[in-house]
Amino acid sequence: MLKSVIIDSNEIATAPWIGNLSFGDDVPVTVQSLSSIGDCWLATDDALVIVERKAPMDLLASIADGRLVQQAAAMVGATPWCYILVTGYLGVRNGNIFVAGCETNWNERSVQGALADVQDLGCEIVYCENERAYGSALLWLAGRDHGVKRIKARRQATIQSPQETILCSLPHISEIRAQALMEHHESLAKAIVGLTKLETDEHTPGIGRGTRRGVRTILGLADDEELLIAKGHMVSVEIGDGDGMILADAVGYEAITKLAKMIQELRGQ
């Protein structure tokens, strides 16, 4: 609720009609110097709102001489609720700015860039139709909710990894399942091996027996075949009249070589 209004004395000198604005019988209006920090101060229950009034041509002139940014910075330093209120609209035709149907010497991009600089400082740009709408626009700004606004968090986008893309090409593997698989298995190879095991005590989130069968089919695995990740060495062994290659890890390698040596010694006796 609006409690009181202070109007800059210089504003009354240049635009006497502003002194005739009414904000309600219970809202006192004071005229005094605001030290170039806005043209109008609106004291509400929960905020101090500062407004700098600009007619369209004055807006362009203040962009040209740099006043607009300085005025915005001064208001931002006094309150987070500050506005440049333009009493009229800027028209655009073929990239040029028009005011009241007359072409100016301003390019649209130049003006938009200057206004963006002001808003980057934290001072908003708002418009009303003309000077007659100035009073109602002030009441509107004063009546806005200035409390804490609760908003929903925006959904965050993440880039799908190459590993997840490969998993998504397999049957019944969605983007969510692919992400869960990579988090669970830590590598693409382990994830694929896990997907092909029909008999396993390991629980993979969101993966059932039907999904595993589908993955095995697309990979061309027979019922008696499994994928395997193994660290070790191929060891050549001879037992009896046969020989062959055995894949062994570091521990198994030592055991198998000892066994092969014992067999060779026994055969030599």
Task: Note whether residue 92 is domain-resident.
Answer: yes
Coarse DSSP helix, strand, coil percentages of the chain, rounded to the nearest 5 percent: 45, 25, 35
76 shares a domain with 35: yes
Torsion sign across C-alpha atoms 43, 49, 50, 54: negative
Share of the chain above pLDDT 70, in %: 80
Same domain, 16 and 137: yes
Domain annotation covers residue 180: yes
Q: Is the pLDDT of residue 257 over 60?
A: yes
Average pLDDT on 219-231 reads: 80
Q: Which of 143, 173, 201 is the last residue of a domain?
A: 143
- Do 119 and 197 share a domain, yes or no? no
Lowest mean pLDDT among 45-49, 69-73, 153-157, 236-240: 236-240
- pLDDT-based confidence at residue 134 (cuts at 50, 70, 90): very high
Q: How large is the average pLDDT for residues 8-22?
A: 93
Question: Is residue 128 domain-shared with residue 215, that is, in the same domain?
Answer: no
User: How far is it, in rounded angstroms, from Cα 55 to Cα 106?
Assistant: 15
Taking the whole predicted model, whether its pTM rises above 0.75 is answered as no
Q: For residues 133 and 212, state if they share a domain.
A: no
Question: Does residue 148 lie within any of the structural domains?
Answer: no
Q: Are residues 47 and 110 in the same domain?
A: yes
Q: Note whether 155 and 190 are within 8 A (CB).
A: no
Q: Averaged over 233-260, what is the pLDDT? A: 58
**CB contact at 8 A, 56 and 86:** yes
Q: Is 150 a domain residue?
A: no
**247: which residues sit within 8 A by CB, 6+ positions away?**
230, 232, 233, 234, 235
Q: At 54, phi and psi to the nearest 5?
A: -140, 120
pLDDT given at position 231 = 66
Domain count, the chain: 3
Query: Tell me, what CATH number does 44's domain have?
Result: 3.40.50.10130
Give the mean pLDDT of 231-255.
57
Instruction: Tell me, yes or no, whether 224 lies in a domain.
Output: no
pLDDT attached to residue 39: 96
Residue 154 lies in a domain: no
Say yes or no: 44 and 167 in one domain: no
Q: The tokens 């191929």 sit on which residue?
A: 234
- State whether 213 and 238 are in the same domain: no
- Residue 7 lies in domain: 2-143
Q: Is the pLDDT of residue 245 over 80?
A: no
In this prediction, residue 86 carries a pLDDT of 97
8-19: average pLDDT: 94
Instruction: For residue 209, give the CATH number of its domain.
Output: 1.10.150.20
**46 has a pLDDT exceeding 70:** yes
Average pLDDT over all residues of the chain: 85
pLDDT digits (tens, 9 = 90+) for 78-109: 999 999 999 999 999 999 999 999 999 899 99
Distance of CA 210 to the CA centre of its chain: 38
Does 138 share its domain with 209? Answer: no
Q: Are 55 and 111 members of one domain?
A: yes
Residue 185: inside a domain: yes
Residues 117 and 246 in one domain: no
In a domain, 156, yes or no: no
Q: Are residues 192 and 261 in the same domain?
A: no
Locate tokens 């983007």: which residue? 175
